Amino acid sequence: MINLPEDSIERCEALIDASKVRRWHAQPEIPIQTTGVHSFNMLLCLIALHPNPSANLMQAVIRHDLAERICSDFPHHMKKRFPVLKEIDEQMQAEFDDELNLAKIELTLEEGIWLKLLDQLEVLLYVQQEVLDPTTASWEIYENCANICNSYISQLQTFGYLLEYVTDTIQ
């Protein structure tokens, strides 16, 4: 038995459970990946690319998909097609954070761009490593992520980050 309040243990268990949500359920050609693996991979990319990431940014990376525990992962193309899904996703995240008494994370504009870049870059690298096939939907996902990543890289370059070598690897 450990000496922690019961509600602290329950919060830890809820967060760990949230990291086990399966991604790619709507793309059968792409192997299942958990939100925990996705977020950890994003954190590894952040470490590789960012010279000095803030604690807020690192926490946002780890927590960004935890609310998917409530109703799974809405695929990117569906959020784009039905913008209300993005609103629902944001509302779920806020409610999830409230239920677990997690502090709201305030990111700067620059950090928000980093978060979006890392999210897309991890998808791009996962698809590239696991299944990239020009005859399946994975190719469209890959190209879409590459275009989005290049856009975020350009935006971050205006903040002084030199990410040209990343752009070279995703073209």
Nearest to 154 by CA among 139, 132, 170: 170
Task: State yes or no: pLDDT of 17 exceeds 70.
Answer: yes
pLDDT value at residue 163 = 79
Q: Which domains does the chain have, with CATH numbers?
A: 6-169 (1.10.3210.10)
92-104 tens-digit pLDDT = 889 999 999 999 9
The CA-atom distances, in angstroms, between 103 and each of 21, 56, 89, 97, 117 are 22, 11, 18, 7, 23
Q: How confident is the model over 143-148, as a mean pLDDT? A: 92
pLDDT value at residue 116 = 96
Of the chain, the end-to-end C-alpha distance in Å amounts to 52
User: pTM for the complete prediction?
Assistant: 0.89
Task: State yes or no: pLDDT of 156 exceeds 80.
Answer: yes
Average per-residue pLDDT for the chain:
90
